[in-house]
Structure 1
Amino acid sequence: MNYAIVFRLLGYVLMIEGALLLLPAAASLVYGEWMVLGVFLLTAAVSAGIGYALHTIKPRSKVFYMREGFAATSLCWVFISVMGAVPFVLTGCIPNPVDALFETVSGFTTTGASILPGVEDLPKGILFWRSFTHWIGGMGVLVFLLSLLPLTGGSHVNLMKAESPGPQVDKLVPKVQSTAKILYGIYFALTMLELVFLLIGRMPLFEALLTAFGTAGTGGFGFRNDSFGSFSPYIQWVVTIFMILFGVNFNAYFLLLMRKFRRAAASEEVRGYFVVIAVAVGIITANIYSMYNSFGEALRQAAFQVGSIITTTGFSSCDFDLWPTLSKEILVMLMFIGACAGSTGGGMKVSRLLILAKTLAKELKTALHPQVVAPARMDGKLLNHETIRTTNVFVAAYIFIFAGSFFLISLNGFDMVTNFTAVAATLNNIGPGLVKVGPMQNFGCFADPAKLVLIFDMLAGRLEIFPMLVLFMPDTWRKF
């Protein structure tokens, strides 16, 4: 383990967080929240100071491998969450440190699960920080770091692989730093585009910023107690469309920018993603039509919730816990499917499910015709053994973590639906579940030990499980 390079990277990330904390401080200044302003400035100074101290560590080698990439990624996310929780505690908005950590991890991992029963009375600076953590965590703090720092050696792609969601990470251009800049450029441009459309709908600038942050990062923190239930149909449609757009693989946007329309349209994952959305919206619209007696409203509510759940954003336009069982079952299934790989969304990813389906078809064909060679292909390319193996291992690890978390939080004594959807909502980075953790409820009912389990689930889900698991392996910390 190259400890020095890991600590140095952690130092860079904490300095970046210190700088980013100045934005909610500015919001507090604008609204005259002097105590909150002082807390943000103090936290920014401490974060930057610790980061600078770690940054001074000089590694003998700046080249690192997957082990350092996994360790650095996991530790960076843990430390920025701990530091990001400080303003909640010091301002008294969330005095319990475990609750504050839960809220912050939920923000950075773009989960959107909250322990707060109400948010409308929170200071503006705190509301800004809650939603801004979604935007920071959406694309990833280390991807942002890679866009700024040219790191030595070709192995720094391991950082992007450890943090980026999906079964594999492709370089859009030969240099990883250039790839990171392109990804953040697309991310920023889409965020600004949504902001413009929200302002056209006469949403106040502050609320439009928070909405854009949450939608871009596919988070789910709201600034109203009813989430988006009280907003106009126009605003709900804008948010619906952009939630779905941020769930698309960003590689497709890059191909569109390069005018490679045929390659962008050839993506099986993107096509499958839109097919799942269309089918789910159609079934739910028909299922809930009798509740609204208006096709337009039923379609809007169905599209909003389907877009919110499959992209793991977690916003809500209504209490879908009151919907018929079929509709709720479809939403729960969408929790597991998730968005596309290479997007800001969570879940298992459409690409993994396609790989599993193609592998199953291949094995069935081989069982019927042992002499026939039946290769599995994705986007016209042969699926190699390594991709299939890592996908199978991911699913196995996912099932084990899900089952373990489900049994551990069951010690709280809540009903099965609450426990099952609480784990599904956190491990898939969605936010709301059903019953006690429904869209109009919160996670404050769980005891602190259960919240720590769910905090681990949120981090594991955002980092694709493996980076968090390697922290518990002795070999990770052994010097060779």
Structure 2
Amino acid sequence: MWQRFTLYDLRVIGHYLGTLTLFFAVLMIAPLGTALIFQEWEPAARYLVAIGIAMVGGCSLRFLRIEPGRLSRRQALAVTGFAWVVLALFASIPLYFSGHYATYLDAVFDGVSGLTTTGASVIVDLDHLSYADNMFRFAIHALGGLGLIVVALSFGLFGRGGGASLFSSEGRSEHVVPNVVQTAQFIARITLLIVAVATLIITALCLGLGMEPVRAFLNALWVSISGFMTGGFAPMQLSIMYYHSFPLECILMVLMILGSISFVLYAEVWKGRAGAFFKDLETKTMVLWIAVMAFVFTATLSSWALFDDMLTLLRRGLFMIISVFTTTGFQVVTTNQITTVFSNGAFLTLAFVMAVGGSSGSTSGGIKFSRMGIIFKSIVANVKEALAPDSARVVVSYSHLGRRTLTPNIVKEAMTVFILYVITYVVGALVGIAHGGEAIPAIFESVAMTSNGGITTSLAQPGMPATLELFYILQMWAGRLEFVTLLALIVEVGASLVPRVKPRLNP
């Protein structure tokens, strides 16, 4: 039987959501400080008000529960599931009043897109956005890319009461080190190191392009955060095409690939076990999958009039493949070129690559290489069983943090998530078609939203129909939670809303 949420459960959930909301208020100090430094008084006032609203909301929720205690698994699922929506609503407040959004729902869309690192944006006139608003967009990318719970745990916000439950409820079942808090801190340190190095390199490149020092540093910081978080937001409307720099594109390709690698494998390399990285099932699956899809995509590009030489073909084609397989969403071709020049084959190839995504335990979205590798291994096992004698026992193993044996439960879990993703891709495409979209762009848009890929074509645009926008928001939310947490939350809430049937007493 499904359990109902009791009043005590709701108080506990509200208490933890209040903690996250207060932390989010602290995060908004970054855009507020940016506004004050650059004397952007109107954005400064907006973020000051938004901080006040978030603090009032967070403190009110914190008072729902004062006494300490451990967090149960079902409470952790609810906290994690609701956190993405609650924080997105607070994020939409300063964004909407910036005047760069056609509707309030557009601001909510961008808030969810930023936190889930989808990177799809319906902002108007991005090129003239204030420094403060841009800083906020990339700050929520950093928070969402690392994971709301991971960031909170790295600062010790939850104490010892519910760290393990919250950590696993966010889809991170593998610990880098035995302690959950230390795992979160390791992930944060690796991220800071990589982003800092990338920022220094890209700053130098931007200075070489003639940018002013401050603007060069900010652009470098923002694209470094977005690249490693596989987020996709860019400070300019033309995305990475704006810079017209092949060296910068190379740095970002490396950064996106680093962001799509599991933090667990980083820990293995850190411990001196680099061989584990190359033997890992995810690494082998990634190399094979990308090699095949890059060849197919390059073949579709070869007939384009957009590319007048092989170097340009390989440069833009490779960048787009890496951008979509890491579910980052950076672009080196314009949206208009994507919708008017891309063939159906190119569309579908990018959609297939984006649907799979990167590695589990990384900042990227999608089905993940680990699940695809396990499904492929299960097919191999079935073939072996069909060919083996009746008396033979077929055992299939794979390497992932050591030698593991393929079991029915592992295959079932991978297939369940795979099927849920595919169903959502299909349903999203049908919703897009129902709103007047063509079939191929509707499929592409649905995959981009659910895999948190971010590259959009023609359907996701400012002022889109509210029903379509709400469904896209749901897809981004479900994809970031990888369905299991979301479905469990829906069942728990549904069970709580169903009226109790009082048992009849026998006369």
TM-score (norm 2): 0.87
- Tell me the secondary structure at the aligned position of residue 202 of structure 1: helix
Match of 1:250 in 2: 263
Q: What's the offset of the Cα at 1:4?
A: 2.9
Between stretches 102-111 and 2-11, larger displacement belongs to 2-11
- Tell me the secondary structure at the aligned position of residue 312 of structure 2: helix
Match of 1:10 in 2: 17
- What CA distance in whole angstroms lies between the structure 2 residues aligned with 1:428 and 1:29? 36
- Tell me the secondary structure at the aligned position of residue 424 of structure 1: helix
- What CA distance in whole angstroms lies between the structure 2 residues aligned with 1:210 and 1:141? 19
Match of 1:110 in 2: 117
Match of 1:170 in 2: 174
Match of 1:296 in 2: 311
- What CA distance in whole angstroms lies between the structure 2 residues aligned with 1:301 and 1:478? 51
**What amino acid does structure 1 have at the position aligned with 2:147?**
G
Q: What is the total number of aligned residue pairs between the two structures? A: 472
8 Å Cα contact 1:81-1:105 kept in structure 2: yes
Change in 2 beyond 3 A, CA 1:367/1:65: farther
- Tell me the secondary structure at the aligned position of residue 241 of structure 2: coil
8 Å Cα contact 1:281-1:299 kept in structure 2: no
Point out the structure with max Rg over C-alpha: 2
8 Å Cα contact 1:14-1:48 kept in structure 2: yes
Query: Which of 214, 221, 226 in structure 1 is aligned with 2:233?
Result: 221
Match of 2:206 in 1: 202
8 Å Cα contact 2:230-2:363 kept in structure 1: yes
Between stretches 208-217 and 262-271, larger displacement belongs to 262-271
- Tell me the secondary structure at the aligned position of residue 242 of structure 2: coil
Structure 1: unaligned runs, 5 residues or longer: none
Change in 2 beyond 3 A, CA 1:475/1:317: closer
Q: What's the offset of the Cα at 1:181?
A: 0.6
8 Å Cα contact 1:288-1:298 kept in structure 2: yes
Q: What's the offset of the Cα at 1:387?
A: 2.2
Match of 1:337 in 2: 356
8 Å Cα contact 1:215-1:246 kept in structure 2: yes
Match of 1:274 in 2: 287
Match of 1:385 in 2: 408
Query: Which of 18, 26, 47 in structure 1 is aligned with 2:54?
Result: 47
8 Å Cα contact 2:102-2:462 kept in structure 1: no
- Tell me the secondary structure at the aligned position of residue 228 of structure 1: helix
Match of 1:456 in 2: 474
8 Å Cα contact 2:239-2:332 kept in structure 1: yes
Between stretches 375-384 and 344-353, larger displacement belongs to 375-384
- What CA distance in whole angstroms lies between the structure 1 residues aligned with 2:422 and 2:294? 27
Q: For residues 435-463 of structure 1, what are the alpha-carbon distances to aligned partners after superposition, in whole Å with 9 as ceiling and x for unaligned?
A: x25xxxx5336301110000000010011
Q: Is 1:424 paired with 2:444?
A: no
Change in 2 beyond 3 A, CA 1:140/1:241: same
Q: What's the offset of the Cα at 1:158?
A: 2.5
Between stretches 285-294 and 24-33, larger displacement belongs to 285-294
Structure 2: unaligned runs, 5 residues or longer: 208-215, 498-507
Match of 2:251 in 1: 238
8 Å Cα contact 1:136-1:217 kept in structure 2: no
**What amino acid does structure 1 have at the position aligned with 2:34?**
A
Q: What's the offset of the Cα at 1:150?
A: 7.0
- What CA distance in whole angstroms lies between the structure 2 residues aligned with 1:70 and 1:263? 32
- What CA distance in whole angstroms lies between the structure 1 residues aligned with 2:32 and 2:449? 29
Q: What's the offset of the Cα at 1:27?
A: 1.7
- What CA distance in whole angstroms lies between the structure 1 residues aligned with 2:435 and 2:218? 38
- Tell me the secondary structure at the aligned position of residue 443 of structure 1: coil
- What CA distance in whole angstroms lies between the structure 1 residues aligned with 2:44 and 2:406? 53
**What amino acid does structure 1 have at the position aligned with 2:114?**
G
Match of 1:469 in 2: 487
**What amino acid does structure 2 have at the position aligned with 1:443?**
Q
Match of 1:365 in 2: 384
Segments of 4+ moved more than 4 angstroms: 150-155, 474-479
Change in 2 beyond 3 A, CA 1:284/1:179: same
- Tell me the secondary structure at the aligned position of residue 482 of structure 2: coil
- What CA distance in whole angstroms lies between the structure 2 residues aligned with 1:334 and 1:406? 17
- What CA distance in whole angstroms lies between the structure 1 residues aligned with 2:125 and 2:157? 43
- Tell me the secondary structure at the aligned position of residue 172 of structure 1: coil
Query: Which of 317, 322, 345 in structure 2 is aligned with 1:307?
Result: 322
Q: What's the offset of the Cα at 1:407?
A: 2.7
Between stretches 89-98 and 52-61, larger displacement belongs to 52-61
Query: Which of 261, 274, 284 in structure 2 is aligned with 1:261?
Result: 274
Change in 2 beyond 3 A, CA 1:116/1:475: closer
**What amino acid does structure 2 have at the position aligned with 1:408?**
V
- What CA distance in whole angstroms lies between the structure 2 residues aligned with 1:297 and 1:364? 43
Q: What's the offset of the Cα at 1:80?
A: 0.4
- What CA distance in whole angstroms lies between the structure 2 residues aligned with 1:411 and 1:189? 46
Q: What's the offset of the Cα at 1:364?
A: 2.9
8 Å Cα contact 2:417-2:483 kept in structure 1: yes
- What CA distance in whole angstroms lies between the structure 1 residues aligned with 2:190 and 2:338? 32
Change in 2 beyond 3 A, CA 1:402/1:280: closer
Q: What's the offset of the Cα at 1:478?
A: 4.4
Change in 2 beyond 3 A, CA 1:53/1:186: same
Match of 1:212 in 2: 224
Q: What's the offset of the Cα at 1:320?
A: 4.2
- What CA distance in whole angstroms lies between the structure 1 residues aligned with 2:338 and 2:254? 19
Change in 2 beyond 3 A, CA 1:357/1:87: same
**What amino acid does structure 2 have at the position aligned with 1:71?**
A
Between stretches 4-13 and 38-47, larger displacement belongs to 4-13
- Tell me the secondary structure at the aligned position of residue 127 of structure 2: coil
Q: What's the offset of the Cα at 1:271?
A: 2.8
Q: For residues 324-366 of structure 1, what are the alpha-carbon distances to aligned partners after superposition, in whole Å with 9 as ceiling and x for unaligned?
A: 4443332111011100011100011011111111112222332
**What amino acid does structure 2 have at the position aligned with 1:309?**
V
TM-score (norm 1): 0.92
